Structure formats: C-alpha cells, structure tokens
Structure 1
Amino acid sequence: MKKSERQMMIKQMVLNEEISTQDELLNKLKNKGIDATQATISRDIKELNLVKTPSANGGTKYTIYQNNQLTIEDKLSSTLREVVDNITQVQFMNVVKTIPGNAHVIGALMDDIPFTEVVGTVAGNDTIMIISKNETEATKMYNYLSERMNTTLKS
C-alpha cells in the first residue's frame, strides 16, 4: 500500500472513530489488512498534523489539527498545556511527565525547534528527558516550558 493511501485511511479512521494511542491505531490498520511499523505510524501522525485532544469519555483521542498557520512553537505550547502533568529540573536536565502516549509528541516538537539550550531529547511513553549542556541552560528551558504552559510548575 502506498503511503498516501495509508495516510488517507488513517485520516478516515481518526475522523470516524476515537483512537487514543498509536498501538490502537496500529491494531485498527492491521484489522483492515494494512501492515505498518510503530515508526511509520509515528511519522504519519506528525505529517498528518494529528494531535491529542480531550475525548467525550474523559480520555484523549487523535484529532486532525486544522490550523496549519501556527508555528512549531505555537504547536508546542498548545501540546504542553494539553498533555503535560509536570516538569522537574534535575541539574542539567528537565524531566517532563505527560499523560500516557504523549511524550513522543513533545519530543518531536522539541527536536524541530533549534533550541540552543537543548543538546538532545529522549522520549518514552509518558516521560521525556530534555538534556542541556549545563544547569543554567536547563533552567532557561524549564522557564521557557513553564511559561508556555501558562502555569508555574513544581521543580
């Protein structure tokens, strides 16, 4: 199956069903006879501008982000407000806890912005580590992220 056909199928599923995780999306694709890897689905999610939004049952679901006029920084700010539980600075790193299944979204956005304060990111299911060169740069990043969330978080 071509990439464009797979992505069209993903769009249709996201519009017609509540899909809350990449695993759920992978399983639904497999049920329709489409084989894809988690890495492929992750790229598709980014290219299709899928974001997590609140669902009717109190959880989250993938939605197609319609306003492509926003900058990456705006997308990061919006995502931080929607999915981050807390941020903790630990020496030269910031540890960001998200609702499950969202750390990779923050990581991908962080990787797309050329922050001089960031050496690299490591994202899991619900935690992302943002690594800086030193504690001063980590503090700048902590302040940047906290301001984007419009709230003061515990450190």
Structure 2
Amino acid sequence: MGKTQEGVDKGTRQNLILRLISEQPLGTQGDVVEALAGVGVEVAQGTVSRDLAELGVLKVGGRYLALPHESNMAGIEVLPSFVLRVTAAQNTVVVHTRDGTAGAVANVLDRVKGLKIVGTVAGLDTVFAVSPDNAAAEEVAGLIADVCRARTRPAGTIE
C-alpha cells in the first residue's frame, strides 16, 4: 500500500470510487473502503455510503455498477422498460429491445462504469454488446437481466 493521501477532496474521491468500481468487482461498502485504502485514501464507511448514494451507484448481482450523471441522457433505470430479452452468445451479448429503443439502451450500456463491455452496436430493436471474452459476456447478460428484473438497490444503504 502506498502513502496515505491527506485531504483528498470529495470530487476526487468520488471519481476514484467510479474508477475502482469499473476496474474491480466491488460488492460491499467495506470492499470500496479497502480499495480506496489500497490506493492510499483512508475514508470511513459512512462517507463511502454517502458517496455511493450521491453517485447513483447501484448494487446489481452482488456488485456495484455506476452510471455517471449526464443531463439529458437516459439512465440505467430505463432498461426494465426497454429491454425484452438478453442472451449471451460467445463474447457478445444480444439485447432485444422495444422498437426504436436500441440506441438508448446501447448508450446506457456504453456509459455504465464496471460493466465489461468493449462497445455496442445498435439497430432499431437489437443491441450487440461486445465483451472481452465469453465469461464477461455471461456476466454482462446476467447483470442486465438482474437490472431488468429490478433486483437492484441503491448502494448508499447500510449493509
């Protein structure tokens, strides 16, 4: 572990949390506290809880996913309304959507931090999301299915 960083501001800490979530399968607030400590940032679990809530991080399938807030952009909450079926096929995830919504779904998937997707291609009612390997595609398909079954909860609650 490196030297502790004193006085890390909230914005820097939250950006670091988003980066760590995208790089590691973190599933508890304790995991996030440990990951931050691993890069030299000491923080209390209560602070992490507030940060996760403010960032809009979701706990899906036992791990955290984050969608950075951008004005005029659809969020992960649209997936249950738009996605009809999700299938992993080798290293590709095929997402069938309602007519005309594939572009919005692809945009959301491209922006989610922590989702193992290299990129997406959208048609009218189908999204092809490419993952780095078959196992990642299975994981992504499962996470999308979990979101669509509303098996999500805000991450900022006490565990």
TM-score range, shorter chain: 0.3 to 0.5
Q: TM-score, normalised by structure 2?
A: 0.47
Higher relative contact order (CA 8 A, sep 6+): 2
